[in-house]
Amino acid sequence: MLLSINNSKFKVKVLVSEKETQKGMMGKKFDKDFNGMLFMMGDGEHCFWMNNCIINLDIIFIKDDIITKIHHNCPPCKDDECRNYCGEGDIVLEVKGGTCKQKGISEGDELVY
């Protein structure tokens, strides 16, 4: 699936199932096939952690296609005492750490499919 924020385009993998959502970016890197991971969530507050991730990520919370919260450059964690990154929304987009600052993406921006 292709989407854009502020004319920056992302080719995303869409995750829907609970199993896919729990695994997320664990042990993965972005490549030529995708540069974002889109989590389809129910409305409300959600928390993500970086357990067993191998790259820093920007975690973007989105409600009704508007960015509500961004956690910038979240570092990987290798144990069960990982920090939680929480926000409100019905979808969450993960991109390579530093992407939002580099591309000027901020809270209040709109996601376009």
pLDDT at 80 > cutoff 80 = no
Give the pLDDT score at 36. Answer: 96
Give the pLDDT score at 79. Answer: 79
Mean pLDDT, range 54-68, rounded to an integer: 97
Across the strands, what pairs with 10? 3
pTM of the model as a whole:
0.94
pLDDT at 64 > cutoff 90 = yes
The pLDDT tens digits of the residues spanning 15-42 come to 988 888 888 888 888 988 999 999 999 8
Please list, residue by residue across 22-38, b when 16 or more beta carbons sit within 10 angstroms of its beta carbon and e when fewer do. Answer: eebbeebebeeeebbbb
Give the pLDDT score at 110. Answer: 98
